[in-house]
Structure 1
């Protein structure tokens, strides 16, 4: 019996060892598959960050009443905002202006149409809500001209709105990621009233300016050079004092100009609207909103800043997140900055803006909004937005009235 038990034990050991080896091999294969999947997802996320993409629908048209000139939209945090906005769609009209909210429920929002829509009009149900309001320069009813700015990437289209009276004050408007210079048309009337010539610029890969060899965003690390060429154009046209206003990613570009521009002697201040101050804060926030696992976010950021991943991210060179961190480089700033940001931005969190204001209270003045969402502060409260900018400029002697008195 003892020999029988011993023989049975000896026979079972190889089987258990084989089963263990098989389990370990299966686990290794599974872990390898998980790691491979996380790596692939991370690279896709990284490419998405830097790849220019067309505007995507973010709401739906539920009803269009041409008799009453109203439109009912699917409810989102943006479509329920008070104020004046725009709506990109397709069909009879590619863009319509929207007025105040007339009624709302848990699912829908009815708004007044400010663009007349005829009874026979047909609009696609898929639509994109916008803070632009104006989408063409002619709508401002101010004199303007088209210009081409000679940047290293090629000729970049721009609009110039001359000041009403002769003035050396210029404002260079820098739009954000995934938009065009039309985003900044809202600001032109205010700056025009304060004696500014407005220069609305384009930059590489924005759909209007030339495409770079890579065709991807550098998140401000290279785009600032195209805007710097625009400041050079302004200098040759008579500008002696330049305010740079950046919207969203345009804020990151404006900060790079403040830190790197050969024309820094012309820059007298920055106005930053819903700005990207630190890309890592923004990308981490957006990843959480998309419910991406933390390892995916970490690997995506690592890929974007690493030389080895350049062929896969297609950026041409690593993204220098440290150089793009406005808070970390706050001690290098020299010109006054006006920050305008909503604490419920929903796309670019205001955390880094608050940190920048805390780091340089001697230079930075911050106006915090609520409810206004991303780059929609003008739409939500035009009076407060305009008063904040006008007062900030007047306090620093950066208006036509002061310039005229000094002359």
Structure 2
């Protein structure tokens, strides 16, 4: 751009003045871009490690009487229009209803009408907002088992857990490890399968999940710290009759289970891992989440650096940086030496299936992948419970129990 009259040449002083101004403007623009990138990266990093309350992001349009029961009308979205059984939490989580079959779906109006199978707590008729979940049951008694609570000693106090005993004293226990942002009720979907195989089930809580004591820094460790609470649960099991365990993990719970199998002093007593929509590679997940939330790639990479570098602690609040590379089990595929079943949906919107598939391909001797469809994140059981149960039970009999476990038809009443 020329600021001189046509046909004239600017004098040297004028040229220098405009050149300096141009450089200053460019530097200022670069500074603004860098500052915006840093701010986005800091926000992203904090969102990953700071526990948050669940957002009531689903509008409850109406609740209507339908014969002897209720039906709920909801906005049609990628979750609410998939067949299966789910939960609708409302009133800040104090209300909980189990939602069943789709009775009407009107794409033109953008609504879906579904059966309300059970209202466990709260008044659904007065609810206006809530959130959708795959954690169907609120407590063991909803499945017909005793609500036996135990307290497991952990750093900072005790972590509550449920113990669902086997029909006869069990020497193999299932330890159920829930995912990020949910609680131990998530693992109740697997209790019947474990019990039919003769296992007791211990459904655990861990630091920062809203039930167990908070970590000293109040931050998620993405598996690098939470594994210690699962190890404490294993110690409880071994002190109360267990000889070995099978770890079940959902989402981040899968990353926790892999960490336990890697570093726990009890790792030789882990007979198998059953992982549902697990985080196999945190760097892949965080890259995916940055793209999903339209965070520019440089900001996403900087966010990962803040989490994994000691210089980022002032931003993240972490006591210690998290070694994300050590939790990349695709790169460490040959180090997975515990028989592992992965159940993962092709359309998982939160944790992409790619790393699960690659881990199974690289280590077929120890890792089996069972692909699901249209289940999204950790809702494989919700979409097809019969298949989830049968696949899991068959794999456990074959890989863990050597066909010695009982084979019975699962009762879903």
Q: TM-score, normalized by length of structure 1? A: 0.93
Which residue of 2 is the match for residue 64 of structure 1? 63
**Correspondences of 1:265-280 after superposition (within 5 Å):** 265-280=268-283
d(CA) in 2 for partners of 1:347, 1:139: 28
Q: Secondary structure at the match of 2:203?
A: strand
Q: 1:284 to 1:121 in 2, by over 3 A?
A: closer
- Between Structure 1 and Structure 2, whose CA radius of gyration is higher? 1
Give per-residue Cα distances to partners, 1:117-161, cap 9 Å, x unaligned. Answer: 99x854332220111110122212113421111123431111111
d(CA) in 1 for partners of 2:260, 2:368: 19
Deviation at 1:37, TM superposition (A): 1.4
Q: Secondary structure at the match of 1:352?
A: helix
Deviation at 1:14, TM superposition (A): 1.4
Which residue of 1 is the match for residue 15 of structure 2? 16
Deviation at 1:92, TM superposition (A): 11
Give per-residue Cα distances to partners, 1:141-199, cap 9 Å, x unaligned. Answer: 11342111112343111111110112201000000000110111111122112111000
Which residue of 2 is the match for residue 187 of structure 1? 190
d(CA) in 1 for partners of 2:345, 2:124: 36
d(CA) in 2 for partners of 1:117, 1:362: 43
Which residue of 1 is the match for residue 205 of structure 2? 202
- Does the aligned pair in 1 maintain the 2:96–2:119 contact within 8 Å? no
d(CA) in 1 for partners of 2:47, 2:133: 21
Which residue of 2 is the match for residue 333 of structure 1? 336
d(CA) in 2 for partners of 1:95, 1:258: 34
Which residue of 1 is the match for residue 410 of structure 2? none
Which residue of 1 is the match for residue 101 of structure 2? 100
Does residue 82 (structure 1) correspond to residue 83 (structure 2)? The answer is yes
Q: 1:144 to 1:57 in 2, by over 3 A?
A: closer
Q: For structure 1, which segment, 84-93 or 18-27, has the greater mean C-alpha deviation from structure 2 after superposition?
A: 84-93
d(CA) in 2 for partners of 1:210, 1:52: 13
Q: Secondary structure at the match of 1:20?
A: helix
- Does the aligned pair in 2 maintain the 1:43–1:300 contact within 8 Å? yes
Runs of 4 or more consecutive aligned structure 1 residues displaced over 6 Å after TM superposition: 8-11
Deviation at 1:403, TM superposition (A): 8.4
Which residue of 1 is the match for residue 366 of structure 2? 363
- State which of 140, 164, 168 in structure 2 corresponds to 1:165: 168
- State which of 302, 307, 311 in structure 2 corresponds to 1:304: 307
Q: 1:203 to 1:103 in 2, by over 3 A?
A: same
Q: Secondary structure at the match of 2:246?
A: strand
d(CA) in 2 for partners of 1:121, 1:318: 43
d(CA) in 2 for partners of 1:280, 1:44: 17
Does residue 286 (structure 1) correspond to residue 285 (structure 2)? The answer is no
Q: For structure 1, which segment, 58-67 or 379-388, has the greater mean C-alpha deviation from structure 2 after superposition?
A: 58-67
- Does the aligned pair in 2 maintain the 1:174–1:244 contact within 8 Å? yes
Which residue of 2 is the match for residue 178 of structure 1? 181
Q: How many residue pairs were aligned? A: 396
Q: 1:63 to 1:305 in 2, by over 3 A?
A: same
Structure 1 residue runs of 5 or longer lacking an equivalent are 1-7
- Does the aligned pair in 1 maintain the 2:120–2:138 contact within 8 Å? no
Q: 1:363 to 1:116 in 2, by over 3 A?
A: closer
Give per-residue Cα distances to partners, 1:320-361, cap 9 Å, x unaligned. Answer: 011111112221222100010001011110111001101110
Q: 1:389 to 1:13 in 2, by over 3 A?
A: same
Q: 1:346 to 1:121 in 2, by over 3 A?
A: closer
- State which of 105, 128, 131 in structure 1 corresponds to 2:131: 128
Q: Secondary structure at the match of 1:57?
A: coil
Q: Secondary structure at the match of 2:271?
A: strand
Q: Secondary structure at the match of 1:217?
A: coil
- Does the aligned pair in 2 maintain the 1:91–1:124 contact within 8 Å? no
d(CA) in 2 for partners of 1:403, 1:370: 29
Deviation at 1:230, TM superposition (A): 0.6
Q: 1:94 to 1:305 in 2, by over 3 A?
A: same
Q: Secondary structure at the match of 2:159?
A: strand
Deviation at 1:93, TM superposition (A): 6.7
- Does the aligned pair in 2 maintain the 1:92–1:121 contact within 8 Å? no
- Does the aligned pair in 2 maintain the 1:145–1:159 contact within 8 Å? yes
d(CA) in 2 for partners of 1:262, 1:170: 17
Deviation at 1:11, TM superposition (A): 7.2
Q: TM-score, normalized by length of structure 2? A: 0.91
d(CA) in 2 for partners of 1:352, 1:236: 36
d(CA) in 2 for partners of 1:255, 1:123: 42
Q: 1:152 to 1:163 in 2, by over 3 A?
A: same
Q: 1:317 to 1:64 in 2, by over 3 A?
A: same
Q: For structure 1, which segment, 241-250 or 283-292, has the greater mean C-alpha deviation from structure 2 after superposition?
A: 283-292
d(CA) in 2 for partners of 1:251, 1:279: 11
- Does the aligned pair in 1 maintain the 2:255–2:327 contact within 8 Å? yes
d(CA) in 1 for partners of 2:92, 2:35: 43
